[in-house]
């Protein structure tokens, strides 16, 4: 399982967690189940709801088009979750992978880091 930590965006999505993928190299198709973690404080009207906090999780599905499949297939250094995030019009700053033994996430890739 992979998780992408996202740069700030107007939709308030802070993370994408990829639950499963179904890849057919023969048919050149990819179908992914994922969750968007939405930061309520970033999307709520702060004047109406000044105390709005917490996160909502929204399950989604995504299917790669032919170009996205080829980009993933021909570039093994690019992870499928990176293609997913880009396809959604979002920017990942970090990719994490879950350790199946401990269920903890570990950072495996830093991306799009902005220096202050």
| Calpha distance 7→12 (Å, rounded) | 10
Burial class of residue 86 in the structure, from the number of CB atoms within 10 Å of its CB (0-12 exposed, 13-18 middle, 19+ buried): middle
Q: What is the pLDDT of residues 68-77, one digit of tens each?
A: 999 999 999 9
Contact predicate 92/7, CB 8 Å: yes
pTM of the model: 0.87
> What does the mean pLDDT of the chain come to?
92
| Lowest mean pLDDT, pick from 17-21, 57-61, 94-98 | 17-21
Structure tokens at 112: 């799009």
Q: Does residue 116 register a pLDDT over 50? A: no
| Calpha distance 37→59 (Å, rounded) | 9
Contact predicate 81/1, CB 8 Å: no
Q: What angle do CA 54, 1, 104 make, to 5 degrees?
A: 65
């Amino acid at each position: 399982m992979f998780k992408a930590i996202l740069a700030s965006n107007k939709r308030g999505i802070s993370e994408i967690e990829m639950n499963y993928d179904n890849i057919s190299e023969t048919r050149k198709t990819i179908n992914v189940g994922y969750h968007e973690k939405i930061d309520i404080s970033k999307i709520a009207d702060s004047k109406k709801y000044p105390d709005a906090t917490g996160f909502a999780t929204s399950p989604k599905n995504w299917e790669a088009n032919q170009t996205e499949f080829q980009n993933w297939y021909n570039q093994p250094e690019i992870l499928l979750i990176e293609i997913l995030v880009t396809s959604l019009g979002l920017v990942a700053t970090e990719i994490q992978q879950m350790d199946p033994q401990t269920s903890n996430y570990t950072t495996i890739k830093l991306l799009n880091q902005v220096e202050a």
